[in-house]
C-alpha cells in the first residue's frame, strides 16, 4: 500500500465525533485449477480498500471505499458520520470507546518458502502430475487438483493511538476424483472441500506428498464403487478429524457466537440454543471434552495477534471438562451481554464491518492412540471426510454425510462402506463422546467459506481435532 494510514486518518475533518478508526485490508490471490490434466482456471484476484468507523453519540457508523485518497476518505468519513448521527436515536445499545482498545502491535504468519520460490510452470506441473495419479482407472471419470496462494495484509489505526499491522499468507490445495461404475458414482477428496488450508508458504505444495495422497484418493474412490451402503442403525461411531472439523464448526462454533445468542443473526444464520445464563453451568459435552479458541496455533488458518477491532487475541477455553465457560463474543457483544468472550471481531474484507466470528476452534487431544480407540469398539463404524452438512437455526438438530467409512468389528477396521450419514442433537451428541485420540491423531484443517452476517460475509476459519469416538449415534446410507 502506498498511503501512510496514520497520516491519512489525520486529514479527516468531521463536525464532532468521539472516536475514529481506519482499517486497510488487501488480499492478492493467485489460483490454479487443473481438471483431467488440462488447465481449467488460472489467474489472480486483487482486493483492497479502506473502512472508516466513526463513533457519534454512542453509535458507530461505517463506510468503505476503494478511493484511498484524502478526498476519497473524507467522503467515506462523512457517510460514516451521517449514519452514526442519524442512527444514534435508534441505537440497539450505547457504544463507548472501551469497545475499541488502544494497542500497538503486529503479526506475520509463518512460512518457509515464499510463493515465488517456484515458477508458475512448476506449480502447474505439480497439479498436473497429481491429476495424473488420480486417474488410476478408466472408472475414474473426473480428476481435479487446485491451489490458491493468498497474500493478505491489514493495518488498523485509530484517533486514540492504535496502530496494528498484520500479514497473512495462506496456502490451500484441493484434490478430488469421481469414480463411476454403472449407476454408482462416488467422489473422494483430499480431506474435504479445500480443507487443506493453512497459514503457510509454498512448502504447502509438496509434489511427493500430493502424489501419495492422490494415489490413496483414487484407490478409495474405486473401493467405494464396490462397497456396501452404510446400514441404518444406532451404533458406535469413530469420527476422523476431517469430519470432526465440520462437527465442531456447526455444533460448537456457531452456537457459541455471542451475536447469535443476542439475536443479531436471527434473520439469517439463526439463533442459538445457548443462553447467556448457560455459561459456567451447561454440561455441553462429556467430561473429556475440552474446546479452545486458539488464535496462537502456528499455521492454523485463522491465527492472528489482534482482531479487527484491536482486541489482543489469546488462547481461551470455551468448554472445560465438558462445561461451557466462555462465548465467542467480541468486546461489543461482551459489553451487551456481560458474558466472557474472546478477540473474534472479524471482517472478511475491507468492505464489510467486523462481527463475531469463529477463528481457530479446536478440540484438545486426549490420551488414546488410533489403534486404542478402534480397539475399544466392539461394533461400530469409522467415518472420514465431510461431504454434506446441515443443522437447524438453533444449532441443535444436525445431519452430516461423509465420503468414506469402514466397519468396525471386534476392535478392528473392516470393509469399506459408502454413503455414510449420521444425525443427532448437539448436547446429546457431545455428551456421548467416549474417547479422544491423543496428539498423534490430531490434524488441522480449515473451512474456506463460513457464511454469516448482514450484509453477508464469507470468512476462513481453522479447526484442529483428534480422532473422536461416540456412542449411540443414528447412522444411515444413501437413497434406496
Q: Name which of residues 226 to 255 contact other proteins (CB under 8 A).
A: none
Least distance (Å) between residue 392 CB and other proteins:
4
Least distance (Å) between residue 437 CB and other proteins:
27
Q: Which of 15, 121, 338, 410 binds other proteins (CB under 8 A)?
A: 121
* Cα–Cα distance for residue pair 45/24, rounded to 1 Å: 17
Question: Residue 102 carries which DSSP code?
Answer: -
Q: Which of 103, 141, 215, 335 binds other proteins (CB under 8 A)?
A: 141
With contacts defined by CB under 8 A, name the span among 7-15, 188-196, 346-354, 375-383 that binds other proteins: 346-354
Number of C-beta neighbours around residue 108 at 10 A: 12
401 vs 466 by CB, closer to other proteins = 401
With contacts defined by CB under 8 A, name the span among 37-45, 237-245, 285-293, 434-442 that binds other proteins: 37-45
* Cα–Cα distance for residue pair 235/417, rounded to 1 Å: 14
* Cα–Cα distance for residue pair 23/458, rounded to 1 Å: 18
* Cα–Cα distance for residue pair 232/215, rounded to 1 Å: 30
183 vs 410 by CB, closer to other proteins = 183
| CA distance to 8, 50, 276, 350, per residue, from 5 (Å) | 5, 10, 38, 14
351 vs 360 by CB, closer to other proteins = 351
Least distance (Å) between residue 279 CB and other proteins:
20
Secondary element (H or E) of residue 253: none
* Cα–Cα distance for residue pair 232/208, rounded to 1 Å: 39
Binding residues for other proteins restricted to 184-223, rule: CB under 8 A: 184-185, 187
Answer yes or no whether residue 106 interacts with other proteins by CB under 8 A.
no
**Residue 162 φ/ψ region, left for φ over 0, alpha for ψ in the -120 to 50 degree band, beta for the rest:** beta
Answer yes or no whether residue 3 interacts with other proteins by CB under 8 A.
no
Q: Which of 9, 21, 49, 363 binds other proteins (CB under 8 A)?
A: 49
* Cα–Cα distance for residue pair 469/240, rounded to 1 Å: 9
Binding residues for other proteins restricted to 368-407, rule: CB under 8 A: 388-394, 397, 399, 401
* Cα–Cα distance for residue pair 26/43, rounded to 1 Å: 17
Answer yes or no whether residue 24 interacts with other proteins by CB under 8 A.
no
Answer yes or no whether residue 183 interacts with other proteins by CB under 8 A.
yes
Question: What values do phi and psi take at 130, rounded to 5?
Answer: -65, -35
Answer yes or no whether residue 149 interacts with other proteins by CB under 8 A.
no
Least distance (Å) between residue 366 CB and other proteins:
28
* Cα–Cα distance for residue pair 84/95, rounded to 1 Å: 11
* Cα–Cα distance for residue pair 301/170, rounded to 1 Å: 7
Least distance (Å) between residue 185 CB and other proteins:
4
Least distance (Å) between residue 26 CB and other proteins:
9
Answer yes or no whether residue 303 interacts with other proteins by CB under 8 A.
no
Answer yes or no whether residue 343 interacts with other proteins by CB under 8 A.
no
Answer yes or no whether residue 20 interacts with other proteins by CB under 8 A.
no
Q: Which of 1, 4, 75, 161 binds other proteins (CB under 8 A)?
A: 75
* Cα–Cα distance for residue pair 319/324, rounded to 1 Å: 4
8 vs 355 by CB, closer to other proteins = 355
Answer yes or no whether residue 425 interacts with other proteins by CB under 8 A.
yes
Q: Which of 119, 208, 338, 410 binds other proteins (CB under 8 A)?
A: 119
9 vs 221 by CB, closer to other proteins = 221
Least distance (Å) between residue 179 CB and other proteins:
8
DSSP 336-370: HH-----S-EE-SSTTS--EE---BEEEPP-SB-H
Least distance (Å) between residue 4 CB and other proteins:
18
DSSP 128-152: HHHHHHH--STTEEEEEEEEEEEEE
**Coil, strand, or helix at residue 6?**
helix
Answer yes or no whether residue 72 interacts with other proteins by CB under 8 A.
yes
Question: Residue 7 carries which DSSP code?
Answer: H
Answer yes or no whether residue 454 interacts with other proteins by CB under 8 A.
yes
Beta bridge mates, 29: 45, 150
Answer yes or no whether residue 283 interacts with other proteins by CB under 8 A.
no
Site string for other proteins, 459-478 (x = CB under 8 A): -------------------x
91 vs 212 by CB, closer to other proteins = 91
Answer yes or no whether residue 309 interacts with other proteins by CB under 8 A.
no
Number of C-beta neighbours around residue 345 at 10 A: 25
Amino acid at each position: 500500500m502506498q498511503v501512510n494510514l496514520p497520516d491519512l486518518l489525520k486529514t479527516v475533518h468531521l463536525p464532532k465525533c468521539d472516536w475514529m478508526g481506519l482499517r486497510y485490508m488487501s488480499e492478492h490471490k493467485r489460483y490454479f485449477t487443473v481438471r483431467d490434466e488440462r488447465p481449467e482456471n488460472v489467474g489472480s484476484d486483487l482486493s483492497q480498500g479502506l473502512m472508516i468507523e466513526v463513533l457519534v453519540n454512542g453509535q458507530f457508523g461505517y463506510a468503505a471505499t476503494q478511493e484511498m485518497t484524502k478526498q476519497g476518505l473524507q467522503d467515506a468519513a462523512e457517510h460514516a458520520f451521517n449514519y452514526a448521527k442519524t442512527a444514534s436515536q435508534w441505537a440497539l445499545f450505547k457504544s463507548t470507546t472501551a469497545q475499541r482498545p488502544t494497542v500497538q502491535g503486529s503479526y506475520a504468519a509463518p512460512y518457509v518458502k515464499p510463493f515465488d520460490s517456484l515458477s508458475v510452470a512448476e506449480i502447474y506441473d505439480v497439479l498436473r502430475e497429481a491429476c495424473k495419479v488420480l486417474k488410476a482407472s478408466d472408472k475414474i471419470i473426473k480428476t481435479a487438483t487446485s491451489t490458491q496462494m493468498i497474500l493478505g495484509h491489514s493495518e488498523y489505526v485509530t484517533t486514540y493511538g492504535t496502530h496494528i499491522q498484520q500479514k497473512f499468507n495462506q496456502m490451500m490445495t484441493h484434490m478430488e476424483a469421481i469414480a463411476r461404475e454403472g449407476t454408482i458414482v462416488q467422489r473422494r477428496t483430499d480431506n474435504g472441500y479445500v480443507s487443506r488450508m493453512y497459514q503457510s508458504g509454498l512448502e504447502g505444495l509438496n509434489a511427493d506428498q500430493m502424489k501419495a495422497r492422490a494415489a490413496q484418493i483414487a484407490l478409495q474412490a474405486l473401493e467405494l464403487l464396490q462397497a456396501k451402503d452404510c446400514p441404518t442403525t444406532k451404533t458406535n461411531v469413530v469420527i476422523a478429524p476431517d469430519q470432526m472439523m465440520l462437527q465442531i464448526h456447526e455444533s460448537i462454533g456457531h452456537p457459541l457466537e455471542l451475536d447469535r445468542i443476542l439475536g443479531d443473526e436471527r434473520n439469517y444464520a439463526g439463533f442459538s440454543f445457548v443462553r447467556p445464563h448457560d455459561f459456567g453451568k451447561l454440561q455441553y459435552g462429556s467430561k473429556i471434552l475440552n474446546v479452545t479458541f486458539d488464535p496462537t496455533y502456528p499455521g492454523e488458518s485463522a491465527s492472528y495477534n489482534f482482531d479487527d477491532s484491536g482486541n489482543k487475541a489469546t488462547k481461551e477455553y470455551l468448554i472445560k471438562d465438558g462445561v461451557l465457560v466462555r462465548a465467542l463474543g467480541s468486546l461489543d457483544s461482551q459489553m451487551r451481554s456481560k458474558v466472557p468472550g474472546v478477540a473474534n471481531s472479524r471482517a472478511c474484507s475491507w468492505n464489510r464491518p467486523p462481527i463475531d466470528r469463529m477463528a481457530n476452534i479446536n478440540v484438545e487431544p486426549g490420551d488414546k492412540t488410533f489403534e486404542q480407540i478402534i480397539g475399544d469398539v466392539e461394533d461400530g463404524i469409522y467415518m472420514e471426510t465431510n461431504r454434506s452438512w446441515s443443522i437447524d437455526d438453533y444449532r441443535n438438530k444436525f445431519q452430516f454425510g461423509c465420503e468414506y467409512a469402514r466397519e468396525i468389528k471386534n476392535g478392528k477396521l473392516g470393509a469399506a462402506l459408502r454413503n455414510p450419514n449420521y444425525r443427532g442433537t448437539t448436547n446429546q451428541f457431545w455428551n456421548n463422546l467416549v474417547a479422544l485420540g491423543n496428539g498423534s491423531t490430531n490434524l488441522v484443517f480449515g473451512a474456506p467459506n463460513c457464511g454469516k452476517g448482514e450484509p453477508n460475509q464469507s470468512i476462513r476459519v481453522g479447526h484442529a481435532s483428534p480422532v473422536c469416538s461416540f456412542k449411540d449415534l443414528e447412522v444411515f446410507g444413501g437413497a434406496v
